[in-house]
Structure 1
Amino acid sequence: MDSKKIVSQQWVINMTDLAQKNYHDIAEQLSDYCVTDATRRQLDVNVRAMRPDDKYAMKDIYPTLSQRTLYMRFFRIIETPTLDQLSRFVDMNFTSRIGCCVTLPNTHQLVGAGRLLRAKSDSDIAELSCIVVDDYQSKGIGRVLLNHLFAMGKCAGVKTILALVHNQNQAMLRLLKSCGYPVEVMYDDGEFEVTLDLTRDAPSNQAIDRHVSIAPMHQGVDPV
């Protein structure tokens, strides 16, 4: 990946080096994460650490989300969340809860957000959740979001990503397979469980097996 500019501290770094660097206080470093990037369709974006005041942006974008987007993300249609609920969603400590947002450079509009949740701050396994607003889906936002979120996770010691994907969400399956890491996909009762190994590069012939039965592997972290 090309070098990117971290706006908050005017650093220029290589993202691979970032994942290998040992910071004295990695959580503080990640809380300042702010990077300029561009999607494969040449849409300029900013990627930054999730902040407490993002609850207001989340509340603003909720009415723009289609029922399909909500169902693919939450596996059910949820009512408009309260600010208290959104406060819990954006409450990051950058140890057990690591999150980032994708925004547009000029308007600062939030167009995507994602989180990695760990049962313990020193666990090397994290559960992924993310969402991209409808008007900016299929524009490369999701790929940029995951690239940076996984880089942040690797800095904090995450080695394995777990993601539950609805069986109709083929776009998310393709995205996860194309992130550059080995992927295992298992299917059970209407949903895929996807496991990514952040410690290795992906093989050239990854394939999805739709016929493997699995038992639940959730860590029991708060889904809000």
Structure 2
Amino acid sequence: MPIVDLTHRIADGMSLFPGTPLPRITPLAWPDSDGYAEKQIQLTGHTGTHMDAPAHVFSGATTLDQWPCDRFTGSAVLVDCRDYDGPVSADCLDRIASLKSLDFILFRTGWERYWGTPHYARQGPYLSQELALALAALPLKGIGIDALSPDPIDSSTLPVHTTLLKHGILLIENLRGLDRLPSDRRFELTALPLLYADSDGAPARVIARF
């Protein structure tokens, strides 16, 4: 069973949402001088490929560390929406044969091709509010996208975030390698966020198996 890693590596020069502090990876010890290697990692919970919890937009809402691990794995499908220049409309769901017993939907916008360049932080395809409402009506565990956000980059109200997170649908942002996933059948998705207290968001290792 092939396993595809859908996670961007955290490193210097990586793409970030405008205003997000740069991650810092600082060596603290070296094998030659200390007998072992160790690094200190400093980053926000929304760095790189990461997951958003309801607490990201709602005060006092559920955090990622409050969910069991089975909340982060399940059946998934890929929706290819590279033909959209702006908001992705709800009719893209018509491309899915069946939405029953589905846990995750991943949206391939093609924006990953700009990763590591200034263009990645510009406005690309995003999910329409119409689509967000349609997704909120499904018994999903989460959705994912190969871009900085399912909302417009300059949005201050984050309508897609609030609509989906209000219904407990987790958001996975900055995915990579969606071109390696099957578009004609379901696959198994696992997205495990870093476990830390009161996590409104966390970097996640995301893999697909099919």
TM-score (norm 2): 0.28
Structure with greater helix share of residues:
1
